Amino acid sequence: METFGKRLSDIIEKRGPLCVGIDPHAALLSRWGFSDDVAGLERFARTVVDALADRVAVVKPQSAFFERFGSRGIGVLESTIRQLREAGALVLLDVKRGDIGSTMAAYASAYLDPASSLSADAITVSPYLGVGSLQPAFDLAAANGAGVFVLALTSNPEGASVQHAVGADGRTVAQTVIDEISQLNKGAVPLGSIGLVVGATIGRTGHELSEVNGPLLAPGLGAQGATPSDLRAVFGESLRNVLPSYSREVLNAGPSVSALRAAAERAVDECRAALG
């Protein structure tokens, strides 16, 4: 079984370094002329699949925007995940789960067990109950060739009070997370399967990412204010492992399939140039 890190490296080589978020919030559905209900959600998801699933490396559905419609919304999410994967895209399900013991194991089973209808190629998780609490997700991901992206340095202003707090050993909380994930990826070739989420808008923070040896998801590009040229300031020598992530910058081009494709192609070209 190929690791997620290998599969991610291969598809980025083939399709380019780009992750596109699927964030069907009410304002975006309205912008597309779709109703803010399950029917509008389904039309939105199907349009994104038709436009991008066979050409974008990674697609990142935000689970909350499907969950808000209850079981029928979850049904749309299940169908969307299946269609994206059938078209060859890697699906990074943005769920940001984080818990302990059997509860974390249940979350891992929901999203990383191939027997689950919500099974994705990778998920996002929160480490702020301790990185060790995420072990069930790490274990199941390794068993099934999946990936896990751990929140490390987020771009929301509230995050710094926790993430930049300094512990007794002089490291920030975020650096502790980064260091623990670096150990999990040690020796992986060509890339580890445990990634980090580091906001593209955070600028120079002094955190050391060079030993991570895993994918670095960089949300915040486009409408949130960051540009591909900002990536070097954030990631420095780790630029080669960055997976840039766009949402509104690409999705605002919809609902035209051709316009969505053109927006994604522009984003890929800009990211390739910035990442070298």
Gap between the Cα atoms of 72 and 25, Å rounded: 16
pLDDT digits (tens, 9 = 90+) for 59-87: 999 999 999 999 999 999 999 999 999 99
Yes or no: say if 149 and 123 are a contact pair by the CB < 8 Å rule. Answer: yes
Confidence band, pLDDT 50/70/90 cuts, at residue 276: confident
pLDDT in tens, 185-233: 999 999 999 999 999 999 999 999 999 999 999 999 988 889 999 999 9
Total domains present in the chain: 1
Say which CATH number the domain at 243 has: 3.20.20.70
What secondary structure letter does DSSP report for 62? B
DSSP labels, 92-134: EEEEEE---HHHHHHHHHHHH-TTSTT--SEEEE--TT-GGGG
Q: What angle do CA 80, 85, 86 make, to 5 degrees?
A: 100
- Catalytic positions, written as ranges: 96
What pLDDT sits at residue 32?
98
Range of the domain at 192: 4-275
